[in-house]
Structure 1
Amino acid sequence: MSEPAAASPAHYRLDDLRIDVARQRVVRDDGQVLEVAGLSFRLLHYLLRQGTRVVGFDELIAQVWAPALVSEDTVTQRVRLLRQALGDDGRRARYLRSVRGCGYQLCSPPHPDDDALRVPGVRRRRLVAGAVLALLPVIAAIGWWSWPRPAAQALSPLLQRADYYARIGQRENNARALALYRQRLQEAPDDVQAALGLARAHAARLCLYGGDPADADRAQALAEHVLARQPRLAAAHAALAYAHDCRGEVATALAGYERAVALDPDDDAARASAAYLYARQGRLADALAANLAVHRPEDARFLALQIAADLDLLGYADAAEGRYRRSFQLYPDNVFSNLAWPSFLHRHGRDVEAQVALDEALSRGTDHAGLQLLAAELALQRGDLDAARHAAQRARALKPHASLPATVAWIVGAESRPAAPALRARSAALRTGLAAGADPLDGLDAALLA
């Protein structure tokens, strides 16, 4: 195994591709931005640093995936996803070829992209000096409200690994991120990034992985603790909004995301989250406008799905279909990609295709209450009551504190149904929540209960 001998360039050119390492951005010469992010970009970057050297499986696992232990099949699948994102064909490779029994190799030598940095020497020094002088007022403004955060803190290996696991988007990796964020806060209690990372991971555990409502309480407490010291920190407002979002408090969450964007117009993740909630409220024009205003699509994790949903609701089903299908193909470890494609097919009456897509999503190891509720609905459509009950029970186990899985379980007979007064009381509570700004889809649950 060998390491790159020198510091890697900030910009690369590979054939007709231009790669900006810091921004994780890959652009063709014709201006097309390619969707290469996360592990796919880490893999591409490592290969770029090796030139045209053949890189073996063990080295890739150690350098790209570590400390996670993965199989060669995982590497092969990620290479396939990278090729898809680049528009490459393994049989007629243009960018990345397989070397049988050895590993992978770039098809042509990558070069530093000097055009991205070409400025005459004297002018470059003046530009740098001018930029520093221009930033001094900003640095001073940040300094007076920022919680102390030493420069070395950003290099904390614990924080880097926690962020890495949190970005992957799987239950076990979110659990690893939680543990690492806590460990980082034990050694550096004032680490704002760790506190907000821990807040987001707690909220994600509730939203995505069947966590407890106490996770949202913990996320809210962490975000509010940071805001008490840094009331104008956009990331803290976004983290607090996410805690409310995961509780279904849509109006409060939306106000928080909007506040984050107002404080930091470059906060694309908060802008995309606001767009998602606009759509939940039926504000489709606002949702589409906000999604299209995202500056860096790679920072908005589910942007393609959100645009697809907006297009679908506006009646552009063909345009939505391509985006849903592509996301399902490119992101097999993404919970929402796995849920969105079969749900789209079901909404459009293509239940046979929907079942095939759902089976594939479940085979990928994704288990989410939404997938199980869809499984229950498809089972009812084909008259398989036993399968519907099994899926409803699984959804209930995954989100034991949520109302809709319980309602579906009662409807299909997976659990004994409460007496009518209890059902009416639950329905009334949901309607009260709607009036207070809860998730509008709670209205569906209230109607089913009634």
Structure 2
Amino acid sequence: MAGDRYRLLDLLVDIPGQRVERDGRVLDLGGLSFQLLAYLLAQGQRVVSFDELIGQVWSPAVVNEETVTQRVRLLRQSLGDDARRPRYIRSVRGQGYQLGAAPVPAEEPVRIRTHMPWPAVLAAVVLVLGTGLAWHVVRTPRDAPRTAAQELLDRAAWYAGMGQRDNDERAIALYERALVDAPDDSRALLGLSRRYSARTCLYNAGYEWAGRAQMLAERVLRASPNDPQAWSAVGYARDCEGDLPGAIAGYERAVLLDPTDDASRASAAYLYQEQGRLADALRANLDMRGDPSKVRFRDIAVARELELMGFTDAAEARFRRSFLLTPDNVFANIGWPAFLFAHARPDEARAAVAEAQAHGTKRTELAQLAGELALVRGDRAAATVAFAEAKALRPDAGMPATLAALYAETPPSPEWIDERIAQVRARLVDNAWPPARLELAVLAIARGDRRTAIAAIQGAVDAGYRDAAYLRTTPLLANLRGEAGFEAALAAIERRVTAERQRVLDAPWCPPELKATL
């Protein structure tokens, strides 16, 4: 069965809008959970096997049946479905899953507008008129000159390249406008995909935007399976969703198809870094085929890799220079204060946070860092405010929500902490990001369970976490310092980092500035 909107019992599912409603109330459902539901709806009531779901929903990431089972459990929770007496999704023992009722096409409502909300249409019209294009109605005639359509996309790309929230929204409005007249235009689809991902990754919007971005990029891939830009956009969307293996697969495929794609190469390098592959990350970032300055996050990524491998002076010089020279660069505005904090320079870090915020950077990472700095100076009230701000900036992010609860004026109950620990454990099934395990450690400390907290830290290290300086400095883990297991985790980081550092120093591509540190 094929369609855009479905009725499943009392649910209304809008596939293009990635929206699920029950009795007019929007359910909190996005990302992989929505994609799983959308695929099941497209299959009617037939039983869908684990292998098919893995191949159609998770590909190119490599997962197992347990991953599928956990995602179905999360989907059921979002829908309010009881696994013991399911209404929407049934388990078929040894086979897979099927819908609990036959989905039917939903009757399309009368629409006054198409493809995007009226405020977005209005914004697009205002912007289009501002560029001097001769359009006086919302819908461009299909026989409009090609030059006008091209200019529209060029203007969208121009806004997208400026790297600021307002301009990102302008680019989105223009890309959406372009798709009104050309729904299959690959340039518009991929441009919009990347801007939707940026909403999630750069501007604190929910994960559902990255899910929409992935669907747009995959539309292009269905028509052009070897389009490197589409693979890059898939990588970026999965990156923003927290799907580490899927993101790497997308970026690597893009670089394989187009070796000049420095942005995808640098993005893959960042994820190598998260996996603890520091030498691989640095080599990829140094192997730029074009102008490295065009990859906005590349200098900060190199600085971070140098920092983690112990080339502290070289890292500091890069962080400081980027912070001073590119005040509109969100990566620089986060990287420099974080470096200062991890290296036990709290007063400088506090000043850098304030300056970054004055630059216009509103990021949950900065607000969380402000909270940790407040705890360092013993100001719990300021930490409470900062952690609440971090959560407000990114309500669906795990650590900010946990910290906002733990440091609220009224502390959470032990039962809340236990429930939160269970939720975090469930998320970790699909989340390959090593830092995600730190949230579990913080919760376990709040519950007085040091063994679980240390095990979470060790799990993060095993998964690739390499920031020993932060672990030593953050007040969030202060209760673990001196514990044998915690110190063993730090020692494991040091051993692995030493090996990565030596790989770099022994490599023919090692920069002279690093060899000079010997």
Q: Same fold (TM over 0.5)?
A: yes
Match of residue 239 from structure 1:
233
Alignment of 1:338 onto 2:333: yes
1:190–1:366: structure 2 CA closer, same or farther, 3 Å change rule? same
Residues 109-188 of structure 1 mapped to structure 2, 5 A cutoff: 156-188=150-182
Moved more, 384-393 or 366-375: 384-393
Match of residue 424 from structure 1:
421
1:249 is aligned, of 226, 229, 243, to 243
Structure 1 residue 188: deviation in Å? 2.5
Q: Is the 8 A contact 1:431 1:446 kept in 2?
A: no
Match of residue 114 from structure 1:
none
Alignment of 1:309 onto 2:304: yes
SS of residue paired to 1:156: helix
Match of residue 279 from structure 1:
273
What amino acid does structure 2 have at the position aligned with 1:307?
A: V
Deviation per CA, 1:179-206, whole angstroms, max 9, x where unpaired?
Answer: 0110111132232111101000001001
SS of residue paired to 1:265: coil
Match of residue 75 from structure 2:
none
Match of residue 222 from structure 1:
216
Deviation per CA, 1:237-267, whole angstroms, max 9, x where unpaired?
Answer: 1101111100111111111111111111111
Match of residue 264 from structure 1:
258
Query: What TM-score do you get using the length of structure 2 for normalisation?
Result: 0.56
Number of residue pairs matched?
301
What amino acid does structure 2 have at the position aligned with 1:326?
A: R
Structure 1 residue 156: deviation in Å? 1.7
What amino acid does structure 2 have at the position aligned with 1:191?
A: D
Distance (whole Å) between structure 1 residues aligned to residue 438 and residue 165 of structure 2: 28
What amino acid does structure 2 have at the position aligned with 1:323?
A: R
Structure 1 residue 154: deviation in Å? 9.8
Q: Is the 8 A contact 1:163 1:197 kept in 2?
A: yes
SS of residue paired to 2:161: helix
Deviation per CA, 1:415-440, whole angstroms, max 9, x where unpaired?
Answer: 75262430220231243234xxx211
Distance (whole Å) between structure 1 residues aligned to residue 411 and residue 235 of structure 2: 36
Q: Is the 8 A contact 1:332 1:364 kept in 2?
A: yes
Structure 1 residue 159: deviation in Å? 1.1
Deviation per CA, 1:67-94, whole angstroms, max 9, x where unpaired?
Answer: 69xxxxxxxxxxxxxxxxxxxxxxxxxx
1:378 is aligned, of 370, 373, 392, to 373
Match of residue 299 from structure 1:
294
Q: Which runs of 5+ in 2 are unaligned?
A: 1-128, 132-144, 445-518
Deviation per CA, 1:73-120, whole angstroms, max 9, x where unpaired?
Answer: xxxxxxxxxxxxxxxxxxxxxxxxxxxxxxxxxxxxxxxxxxxxxxxx
Match of residue 317 from structure 2:
322
Q: Is the 8 A contact 1:184 1:194 kept in 2?
A: yes
1:310–1:406: structure 2 CA closer, same or farther, 3 Å change rule? same
1:355 is aligned, of 327, 335, 350, to 350
Structure 1 residue 168: deviation in Å? 1.4
Q: Is the 8 A contact 2:387 2:404 kept in 1?
A: yes
Structure 1 residue 153: deviation in Å? 6.4
Structure 1 residue 298: deviation in Å? 2.8
Distance (whole Å) between structure 2 residues aligned to residue 216 and residue 171 of structure 1: 16
What amino acid does structure 1 have at the position aligned with 2:217?
A: A
Alignment of 1:447 onto 2:441: yes
Q: Is the 8 A contact 1:287 1:310 kept in 2?
A: yes
Q: Is the 8 A contact 2:296 2:329 kept in 1?
A: no
SS of residue paired to 2:202: helix
Match of residue 290 from structure 1:
284
Structure 1 residue 152: deviation in Å? 5.1
1:364 is aligned, of 346, 356, 359, to 359
Alignment of 1:189 onto 2:186: no
Runs of 4+ in 1 over 3 A off after TM superposition: 151-155
Deviation per CA, 1:243-299, whole angstroms, max 9, x where unpaired?
Answer: 110011111111111111111111110000000000011110110011011122033
1:322–1:389: structure 2 CA closer, same or farther, 3 Å change rule? same
Distance (whole Å) between structure 2 residues aligned to residue 158 and residue 386 of structure 1: 49
Distance (whole Å) between structure 2 residues aligned to residue 386 and residue 356 of structure 1: 19
Distance (whole Å) between structure 2 residues aligned to residue 415 and residue 158 of structure 1: 52
Distance (whole Å) between structure 2 residues aligned to residue 180 and residue 444 of structure 1: 40
What amino acid does structure 1 have at the position aligned with 2:240?
A: C
Distance (whole Å) between structure 2 residues aligned to residue 260 and residue 370 of structure 1: 29
Distance (whole Å) between structure 1 residues aligned to residue 235 and residue 316 of structure 2: 30
1:389 is aligned, of 377, 384, 387, to 384
Deviation per CA, 1:353-401, whole angstroms, max 9, x where unpaired?
Answer: 1111111111111101011011111111111112111111111011101
SS of residue paired to 2:361: coil
Structure 1 residue 336: deviation in Å? 1.1
Deviation per CA, 1:304-353, whole angstroms, max 9, x where unpaired?
Answer: 10110010011001001111111111111111111111111111111111
Structure 1 residue 211: deviation in Å? 1.0
1:155–1:330: structure 2 CA closer, same or farther, 3 Å change rule? farther
Structure 1 residue 449: deviation in Å? 2.0
What amino acid does structure 2 have at the position aligned with 1:368?
A: R
Percent identity over paired residues: 49
Coordinate RMSD, CA, aligned? 2.1
Residues 97-116 of structure 1 mapped to structure 2, 5 A cutoff: none
1:192–1:346: structure 2 CA closer, same or farther, 3 Å change rule? same
Distance (whole Å) between structure 1 residues aligned to residue 269 and residue 300 of structure 2: 11
Match of residue 410 from structure 1:
405
Query: What TM-score do you get using the length of structure 1 for normalisation?
Result: 0.64
Distance (whole Å) between structure 2 residues aligned to residue 292 and residue 415 of structure 1: 49
